[in-house]
Structure 1
Amino acid sequence: MKAIRGAITTENTKEDIFKDTINLIDEIFRCNEIKPNDVVLIFFSATKDINSAYPAEALRHHGITDIPMMCFQEMDVSGSLEKCIRVIVFINCNDDKKVKHLYLKNAKLLRPDLLNIKVAIDGPAGAGKSTVAKKLAEKLNFTYIDTGAMYRALTYKTIIEDIDINNKDKIVELASKIDIKLENDRVLLDGIDISNEIRTPIVSEKVSLISKIPEVREIMVNLQRQLANNGSVIMDGRDIATVVMPNAQFKFFLTASAEVRAMRRYNELVEKKISVSYDDILRDIKKRDKIDMERDIAPLKKSDDSIVIDTSDMTIEEVVCKMYDIIVSK
């Protein structure tokens, strides 16, 4: 015996519940090459906002009358997917039979590991890429990969080891040996959490100079591509859609005026009790934009198929919701 999982989102009308339940079960049967006689029993669960009809009733009307079925209410977990019908189908089969679990419509977001969706987010410093990417990854249950933090970690390592910023060979050697791990919201360098240290002004001032070294970028890009192979991911940076993940299904380019970006960075640093000057940050952002856009290797630019979102007059939540709607509507 084996069990096949599935889910689908629907609307709370009898017609929609019947149509979507039948579609889900038909797809499970078709993709797994099973017939009603193979089925032992079926369990349905539905979120509390689905109460106009029983999913099992839909199958009875569809002609499936001999299979035992039960319907339950899904646990009401805060922030969980709404208007969703879940199912588990138990079948008699050989032990070596491969089964395919089916998640349709917005329910596909319940199992990002089955989707292998890649989301690339590019843009200049201070456009909100990292904040948006983190929240979007949490909302979609995707893995978030902060590529900028990887370059910042290398820059921080260069600083604490007192390596001359112009000593390219030494920096490349350091990049080839560095141990960087991204765990949730933490950036670990050689096992030590440096999440706050990499956001200091001295790191921000030097990171573009290090990230433009071709050999460094090659090392980092290879590492980023390896990380991207592990299921559905959201990755942000400056060359994600053009270099790191050119085949990403979703590509976004976030931008904002230099003044807005400088104020965001200023507020972020002040909140962390770091003494900074707004004018200095604005000057550094303009300087970094110039370096990023004019570097020979993988310069900052929008890919032809990226969706541009100007975040100057948008809240973080508005940006996240806009990107979320674009992704789930596909």
Structure 2
Amino acid sequence: MTTHIPIIAIDGPSASGKGTVAKLVSEKLGFHYLDSGSIYRTIAYAGQRQNVPLNNELLLLKVLENADLSFKNDQILLNGKDISEDIRTEESGRGASEVAVHKALREAILGFQRSFEKTPGLVAEGRDMTSVVFPHATIKIFLTASAQIRAERRYKQLISKGNSANMDLVLNEIILRDERDLQREISPLLKTKDAIEINTDTLSISDAVDKITHLFSLKSQTS
């Protein structure tokens, strides 16, 4: 008998808060957590360190083939090195968006992403969790916010970490990232018909977490 594993799949644009919210939801429910964006960030990071053009899919596939990527607690390890902070730069974010357009690369990591589907459950966040990776998810959430609000959040995040930042440049990067994610041919960012949209413009992180866990509880009771 196949065990049904509950999955909360969360998609949304850059800086919508989905990473923070998804992590807290997973902790609240005691579920596993998948930050799919970190996989693309890691590939971009590894490629950039090897001077591999991010538009060269074949070379990036070789980078991925030779990379030992693993998640341990809150650490992201590449060939045994903790790169958790290294891949949280704006450079890695832009790189992730660039490598994410490659079809063969996305297909190559699909199995790795789905390997996180384990008991007692999973909270997965990214751009195509609801549409491609976990279309059978128990509940699907599309977490969003206006570009201005998202830029303000990203700006504050960068400043809090001691990085220099320009608000206009951050906003422009958010808009460009949205365009790349929405317009790419392979697995574009989209809200599936069965996804519940949550706008976080006026929601606190805790409010968003409570709303998602409540929706999941209701869904679990009726399924």
Give the TM-score, by structure 1 length.
Answer: 0.64
Question: Which moves more between the two structures, 241-250 or 213-222?
Answer: 213-222
Query: Per-residue deviation at 1:281?
Result: 1.3
1:144 corresponds, among 33, 43, 46, to 33
Corresponding residue for residue 194 of structure 1: 83
Q: Say whether the 8 Å CA contact 1:221–1:244 is kept in structure 2.
A: yes
Partner amino acid, structure 1, of 2:166:
S
Query: Per-residue deviation at 1:231?
Result: 4.1
Q: Say whether the 8 Å CA contact 1:137–1:233 is kept in structure 2.
A: yes
SS of alignment partner, residue 116 of structure 1: coil
Q: Say whether the 8 Å CA contact 1:115–1:232 is kept in structure 2.
A: no
Question: Which moves more between the two structures, 162-171 or 284-293?
Answer: 162-171
Q: Say whether the 8 Å CA contact 2:33–2:124 is kept in structure 1.
A: yes
Partner amino acid, structure 2, of 1:148:
G
Partner amino acid, structure 1, of 2:213:
Y
Corresponding residue for residue 105 of structure 1: none
| Count of residues paired in the alignment | 217
Query: Structure 2 CA distance, aligned partners of 1:230 and 1:224?
Result: 15
Query: Per-residue deviation at 1:162?
Result: 1.4
Q: Say whether the 8 Å CA contact 1:176–1:219 is kept in structure 2.
A: no
Query: Map of 1:193-232 to 2, 5 A cutoff?
Result: 193-229=82-118, 231-232=120-121
1:256 corresponds, among 135, 141, 145, to 145
Query: Per-residue deviation at 1:115?
Result: 5.8
Q: Say whether the 8 Å CA contact 1:269–1:276 is kept in structure 2.
A: yes
SS of alignment partner, residue 187 of structure 1: strand
Q: Say whether the 8 Å CA contact 2:12–2:144 is kept in structure 1.
A: yes
Q: Say whether the 8 Å CA contact 2:61–2:105 is kept in structure 1.
A: yes
Confirm whether residue 156 of structure 1 aligns to residue 156 of structure 2. Answer: no
SS of alignment partner, residue 308 of structure 1: strand
Corresponding residue for residue 176 of structure 1: 65
SS of alignment partner, residue 154 of structure 2: helix
List gaps (5 residues or longer) in structure 2.
Answer: none
More strand by share: 1
Query: Structure 2 CA distance, aligned partners of 1:127 and 1:286?
Result: 12
Identity %: 37
SS of alignment partner, residue 228 of structure 1: coil
Q: Say whether the 8 Å CA contact 1:115–1:231 is kept in structure 2.
A: no
SS of alignment partner, residue 321 of structure 1: helix
Question: Which moves more between the two structures, 224-233 or 196-205?
Answer: 224-233
Confirm whether residue 185 of structure 1 aligns to residue 74 of structure 2. Answer: yes
Corresponding residue for residue 205 of structure 2: 316
Deviations 1:208-239 (A, max 9, x none): 11011111111122210122245410000000
Higher alpha-carbon Rg? 1
Corresponding residue for residue 134 of structure 1: 23
Partner amino acid, structure 2, of 1:226:
S
Moved segments of 4+, more than 6 Å: none
Give the TM-score, by structure 2 length.
Answer: 0.93
Query: Per-residue deviation at 1:185?
Result: 2.0
List gaps (5 residues or longer) in structure 1.
Answer: 1-113
Partner amino acid, structure 2, of 1:292:
D
Query: Structure 2 CA distance, aligned partners of 1:176 and 1:228?
Result: 22
Q: Say whether the 8 Å CA contact 2:33–2:116 is kept in structure 1.
A: no
Query: Per-residue deviation at 1:166?
Result: 2.5
More helix by share: 2
SS of alignment partner, residue 282 of structure 1: helix
Confirm whether residue 290 of structure 1 aligns to residue 179 of structure 2. Answer: yes
Q: Say whether the 8 Å CA contact 2:5–2:117 is kept in structure 1.
A: no
Query: Per-residue deviation at 1:167?
Result: 2.2
Confirm whether residue 124 of structure 1 aligns to residue 40 of structure 2. Answer: no
Confirm whether residue 278 of structure 1 aligns to residue 167 of structure 2. Answer: yes
SS of alignment partner, residue 156 of structure 1: helix
